[in-house]
Structure 1
Amino acid sequence: MDKEKLVVIVGPTAVGKSEAGIQLASHFNGEIISGDSMQIYKGLDIGTAKVSKEEQKGITHHLIDELEPSESYSAASFQHDAAKLITDIHRKNKLPLVVGGTGFYIRSLTRGLDFHESPSDPAFRQEMEAFAEHHGANALHERLEQVDPVSASSIHPNNIKKVVRALEINHLTGQNRKEFANQERNESPYHLVMVGLTMDRTPLYKRINLRVDKMVENGIIREAKWLYDNYSEKCQAAQAIGYKEFFPYFKGEYTKEDAILLLKKNTRRYAKRQLTWFHNKEKVEWFDITQGNKNKKINEMISFVEGKIY
């Protein structure tokens, strides 16, 4: 049986993935699945650089505005939802394109990570939750660092639910969360074409700084305040870059200008991590738009994809 065709467009934040995805979807009669872990939340529009209905140019977009900020979403959830969408899109004789920069979400899909269900121990879980309530989130996180430093390094102390889950898996299996949670295939379950947009660091960082200034102009602080006022700081959506940087400002711990500078710095660091991830973890055909030849590069991208899927 032939594998389902899938085009994935990756790259660092602010490089122009969304625009490229829309152009490719238009050319190939495709539909877009968001590969951004935060665009699935309603109300988080400016900080996640969500494409507006006008910008979508009639291209159907999926996994955008699906959840309330209080809800949790995971790589396993994304894998399940995106796989179903890919099949549905093919049934309409269209081409599915995943566009986004959340590396582990995309890898969970393109490599068919096997997310196992581990046995549970409700009594142990309740014990850990009570410990956190009595001693604090940091103390609980320190317990995880002692038994599973690998998981502890990737889980924020405030994400008590994930900390408890990692402790529970270690308690029951003796393994760290990632060892137990996933196994990846040597090859993709899809007829996969991965393309990426990239550019030199200096102009990319300049674009990021300008983008943050534009977000401030468009009302990101108001959007962050809505999230801060209406939802817990511990919820997954509140961990998003673009929002958490303003919470200390709302508490009077530092100035608005400090928050904006921190947002720029965190976004630049995130872009660097994205580039490192996709260069090290994925086989991507890169298209460098440093010289401002974006339309030319997107046309080259279209030609490359045509050669791989037809």
Structure 2
Amino acid sequence: MSSNPLIVLCGPTASGKSAAALRLAEHMPVEIVSADSRQIYRGMDVGTAKPTTHEREAVPHHLIDVVDPDETFNAYRFSKLADKAISSIRTRGNTPIVVGGTGFYIKALLGDLPLGETPPDPEIRAKLLEQLETRGLDTLVKQLEAIDPNRAASIDANNPRRVLRALEIAIAQSKKVRSHNNRFKETKLQAHVFGLSVKPQTLRDRISVRVVKMYASGLLEEAASLRKSGYGNDLASMSGIGYREALACLDGTLSCDEASEQTIIRTRQYARRQRTWFRHQLSVQWLPAEDLAVAAKRLID
């Protein structure tokens, strides 16, 4: 590879991306830029599987703990902050490696998504909320799939808040396209894009193990602490996979076992959508997730 190339390591949740990046750091000077739409929230550690304190001390990590759970964050802001982090890493003579499963963040960074934030549109939102109440979530999901199948494949389709916002953005951006007002990054980043390929059953098993570990490691306590700090169920961050179920358990509407099982189901569904999205939206060189030593060697080569 050329001097200080940009490496992207993507793949579905629980595929071993962070472990592969840390293995790579044993052989070359790298710094990790997280491309995870949940790890950007402060105080949401257990439920987002953030790198441990030891791992973050061993290898510098960027774009983790960026905003509070009630702040908005999107692909546009990620791209801006990631650009700065990558430039800073290169000035130190290290290799930046973007690691994560949020495809829209990665695509925006590489210059393949329109620039500019999409502000909330009260008129569009009101119409969508009316549709949600009268026709149900499935109708909105189908509408999103018809307008922007890529965005539909990258979100949690069981989360009404995520679907509403994604559809609002898709409708607003489709209007921009029709008005020929779409702008992309002036210079697209050149990157080596790799992905970790996992056998479906292996990934399902890994997800189960991860979720059970999350609950055993204090996910319920973390959710309770966040709620006590004023972050309620109405926030998009708190309705994400794991936190919605944990809050339901705290409210008594789900048992702990039911919360864990529903978290596993939603995570598996999300992982399937991630696999589909990456295979269709990015030119990825796939590496064997079952053998991190082989994956790391391929990355180095």
Q: TM over 0.5: same fold?
A: yes
- 1:28 aligned counterpart, secondary structure: coil
TM-aligned CA deviation for residue 184 of structure 1: 5.8
Task: Give the structure 2 partner of residue 61 of structure 1.
Answer: 61
Alignment of 1:137-156 (within 5 A): 138=133, 149=144, 150=147
The answer on whether the counterparts of 2:38 and 2:237 sit within 8 Å (CA) in structure 1 is yes
Is 1:162 the equivalent of 2:165?
yes
Task: Give the structure 2 partner of residue 18 of structure 1.
Answer: 18
Q: Cα deviation per residue 1:239-297 (whole Å; 9 max; x = unaligned)?
A: 3212112222223222221111000111111111111111111111111234xx33233
Is 1:244 the equivalent of 2:247?
no
Q: After the TM superposition, which of the residue ranges 61-70 and 17-26 deviates more from structure 2?
A: 17-26
TM-score, length basis structure 1: 0.78
TM-aligned CA deviation for residue 236 of structure 1: 2.7
The answer on whether the counterparts of 1:35 and 1:102 sit within 8 Å (CA) in structure 2 is yes
Which whole-Å CA distance do the structure 2 matches of 1:288 and 1:195 have between them? 10
Could you list the runs of 5+ residues in structure 2 that have no partner in the other structure? none
Corresponding letter in the other structure for 2:194? V
Task: Give the structure 1 partner of residue 104 of structure 2.
Answer: 104
Corresponding letter in the other structure for 1:273? R
TM-aligned CA deviation for residue 132 of structure 1: 9.3
Task: Give the structure 2 partner of residue 307 of structure 1.
Answer: none
Corresponding letter in the other structure for 1:218? S
- 1:234 aligned counterpart, secondary structure: coil
Corresponding letter in the other structure for 2:292? K
Task: Give the structure 2 partner of residue 212 of structure 1.
Answer: 211
Q: After the TM superposition, which of the residue ranges 223-232 and 151-160 deviates more from structure 2?
A: 151-160
TM-aligned CA deviation for residue 301 of structure 1: 2.8
The answer on whether the counterparts of 2:194 and 2:287 sit within 8 Å (CA) in structure 1 is yes
TM-aligned CA deviation for residue 208 of structure 1: 1.0
TM-aligned CA deviation for residue 81 of structure 1: 0.8
Corresponding letter in the other structure for 2:300? I
Q: Give the number of equivalent residue pairs.
A: 289
Q: Cα deviation per residue 1:15-36 (whole Å; 9 max; x = unaligned)?
A: 2111111222343312111010
Could you list the runs of 5+ residues in structure 1 that have no partner in the other structure? 304-310
Which whole-Å CA distance do the structure 2 matches of 1:218 and 1:243 have between them? 14
Structure showing greater Rg: 1
- 2:9 aligned counterpart, secondary structure: strand
Which whole-Å CA distance do the structure 2 matches of 1:239 and 1:178 have between them? 33
**RMSD over aligned Cα atoms:** 3.8
Task: Give the structure 2 partner of residue 43 of structure 1.
Answer: 43
The answer on whether the counterparts of 2:4 and 2:93 sit within 8 Å (CA) in structure 1 is no
Cα pair distance change 1:164/1:188, threshold 3 Å: closer
Task: Give the structure 1 partner of residue 81 of structure 2.
Answer: 81
Alignment of 1:288-307 (within 5 A): 288-290=288-290, 293-303=291-301
TM-score, length basis structure 2: 0.80
- 1:27 aligned counterpart, secondary structure: coil
Cα pair distance change 1:201/1:114, threshold 3 Å: same
Corresponding letter in the other structure for 2:223? A
Task: Give the structure 2 partner of residue 308 of structure 1.
Answer: none
